[in-house]
Amino acid sequence: MITDTTPILRVDNISKCFGETCILKGVSLSLRKGEIKVLIGPSGGGKSTLLQCINCLVRPDAGEIHLGEERIDLASKADLCRLRQQVGMIFQDFNLFDHLSAQDNITIALRKVKKLGKREAAERARLELEQVGLGDKAELYPAQLSGGQKQRVAIARALAMDPKALLLDEPTSALDPELIGEVIAVIRALAAKGMTMIMATHQISLISTLADEILFMENGVIVEQGSPAQLLTSGNPSKSQGFCDRLNDLADGGC
């Protein structure tokens, strides 16, 4: 039986090497319902690869993935499709389908993967677009949307699949500073509704206010983990605090 304490997603000892370079060296984490974990750490530390391994866009070399009680067979295409349907992914560069309007970006997945009817899919797409404040942009193509709007469509698209958890890979990193706010607002609204998330981000406001737990990744391993209260107090010698201090310095010195 799944209770609130059973993890809805668990990865054990994931490792991944590209040739000689090992990006992930045995990473484990588990995610309970409604929990938000934030991945931070230097670039090249393995955050993106970890997220991509969790829904097998990049196949891990070793390790196990459990969805609820079920162990995912990484060699089975059917298992992978089922895993991916239940674990949504938001990318740094949106990855909207360029040949489809905002609405069709959402309906195509509902129709092809969830096998919904045309009308049902369109209604759901409208609803999701309204949720992210883009009800009036349904007919526009990705080339006609701003970065922030594209990312909101991408979030709407992922949510329409009713995922159990959402993986966000630096969702605001490719955006102009003035567009970040709208995406952050959507992510906050998701958190308020109890969405389960793992998010890699350099956005300091998201790290400190949203995270239930911070995971600091470096050289392919999680070197530090704990709640913001434990890790992020000023003067704390933790790596996480040092990292956030540097982000703050950059933000202050940047303008």
**Chain centroid to CA 191: how far?**
12
Report the residue from 17, 57, 223, 251 that binds another protein according to the rule CB under 8 A: 57
Measured CA distances, 217 to 35, 46, 222, 251 (Å): 19, 7, 4, 21
**Closest C-alpha among 73, 72, 52, 53 to residue 61:** 53
Part in contact with another protein (CB under 8 A); list of ranges 16-24, 66-74, 156-164, 229-237 = 156-164
* Cβ nearer to another protein, comparing 108 with 185: 108
The token pair that represents 172 in the structure block: 């605001």
Among 108, 189, 223, 251, binds another protein (CB under 8 A): 108
Among residues 137, 157, 202, 239, the one that binds another protein under rule CB under 8 A: 157
- Residue choice 98, 120, 130, 176 for contact with another protein (CB under 8 A): 98
Judged by DSSP in three states, 7 sits in: coil
70 near another protein, rule: CB under 8 A: no
Under a CB-based contact definition with an 8 Å cutoff, are residues 56 and 65 in contact?
Answer: yes
Number of H helices, E strands in the chain: 9, 10
Please name the amino acid found at residue 108.
I
Which of 141, 204, 208, 219 contacts another protein by CB under 8 A? 141
Residue count at the site for another protein (CB under 8 A)? 31
Stretch near another protein under the rule CB under 8 A, chosen from 19-27, 107-115, 170-178, 245-253? 107-115
Which residues make beta-bridge pairs with 39?
200, 215
The residues of the shown chain that bind another protein, judged by CB under 8 A, are 52, 55, 57, 77, 81-82, 84-85, 88-89, 91, 93-99, 108-109, 112-113, 140-144, 154, 157-158, 161
